Amino acid sequence: MPNHSEVCPESTSPSNKFNLSTAELKEMAKKLRRHVITMTATAGSGHPGGSLSAADIITALYFKVLRYNPKNPQWSNRDRFILSKGHAAPILYAALAEAGYFPVAELTTLRKLDSRLQGHTDRKFTPGVEMSAGSLGMGLSFAIGVALAARLDSKTYRTYVLLSDGECEEGQTWEAALSAAHFKVDNLTTIIDCNGMQLSGWTRDIMNLEPFIQKWQAFGWHTIDIDGHDLDQILPACQGAEKIKGKPTVIIARTIKGKGVSFMENNAAFHGKAPTWKEAERALKELE
């Protein structure tokens, strides 16, 4: 793959080597889910539930939407992807490995001492990671800063940030939402992995977010409501967000925690619990 920082530094065309078809994207999403299961089972810890719910979103971004160059991770005009829900690091690592940022074999080092693949993302050590994450609620603020930097530097890159619905209980998320609308940050696309669950149960029981869409609209955002597992909805939503001018866009992606593995789906126990090897074998069989 050529070094696009030299070949086309300000190109607005896709600069990754994939641009997969919908059928190929579905197969890639399955592969990423299998990586998540293997990684967390090998580590004996991690967060499979929220990684699996975000798999189709991450697949669409890294293998169709984003402009990037894994051979030059700091290419100045790359699109930026911010994983605010940093506990879903396994699904991001799986995508980065398949995209060529580091060897796929390295995925088995998740959460091991001296590994570049920490339990939560760390931008100092992992190629392709844009933000160090841990505490929830910070990603949107960070992403707004990145998007405003593009404006100040007259860059054409776009910023994408993935939030969990649970972290929308954080006050900082709504302060950031206010500022994005105030500064008309239209080069920012926020995607919410709205799986309805968090560590200890359903969000509706812990802190009800509804009416969710109307809240974002009241804060001055353009809203798009989709099935977060349907690539035929995810891709047009991302394309539509690029066309909105004068305000930021949020895509509410309705998903299922643990999607793809029957005994993990809508099961809060697998928010932060790795599968046993016996469970992993069953999960991998379901994901064949």
Q: What's the pLDDT score for residue 135?
A: 86
Phi, psi (5° rounding) for residue 160? -120, 140
CA distances in angstroms from 212 to 80, 207, 235, 251, 268, listed in the order given: 25, 12, 22, 11, 21
Contact indicator for 53, 134 with CB cutoff of 8 Å: no
Contact indicator for 263, 279 with CB cutoff of 8 Å: yes
**Of 9-13, 117-121, 279-283, the least confident:** 9-13
Cα 114 off chain centre by: 24
The residue type of 124 is K
Query: For the whole model, what pTM was predicted?
Result: 0.93
Q: What's the pLDDT score for residue 10?
A: 45
Mean predicted confidence (pLDDT) in 225-251 = 98
Structure confidence by residue, pLDDT tens digits, 101-157:
999 999 999 999 999 999 999 999 999 999 999 889 999 999 999 999 999 999 999
Contact indicator for 251, 238 with CB cutoff of 8 Å: yes
Q: Is the pLDDT of residue 8 over 60?
A: no
Selection from 250, 78, 73, 238 nearest residue 157 by Cα:
78
Mean predicted confidence (pLDDT) in 29-49 = 98
Q: What's the pLDDT score for residue 16?
A: 65
Q: Is the pLDDT of residue 4 over 80?
A: no
Structure confidence by residue, pLDDT tens digits, 176-226:
999 999 999 999 999 999 999 999 999 999 999 999 999 999 999 999 999
Q: What's the pLDDT score for residue 12?
A: 43
**Of 10-19, 61-70, 159-168, the least confident:** 10-19
Mean predicted confidence (pLDDT) in 281-285 = 98
Q: What's the pLDDT score for residue 18?
A: 86
Instruction: Give the C-alpha separation, 68 to 99, whole Å.
Output: 10
Give residue limits of the domains in the chain.
19-286
Q: Is the pLDDT of residue 68 over 80?
A: yes
Mean predicted confidence (pLDDT) in 36-44 = 98
Q: Which fold has domain 19-286?
A: Rossmann fold (3.40.50)
State the pLDDT confidence band at 270, using cuts at 50, 70 and 90.
very high
3-state secondary structure of 215: helix
Q: What's the pLDDT score for residue 15?
A: 60
Mean pLDDT in the chain? Answer: 94
Q: What's the pLDDT score for residue 2?
A: 35
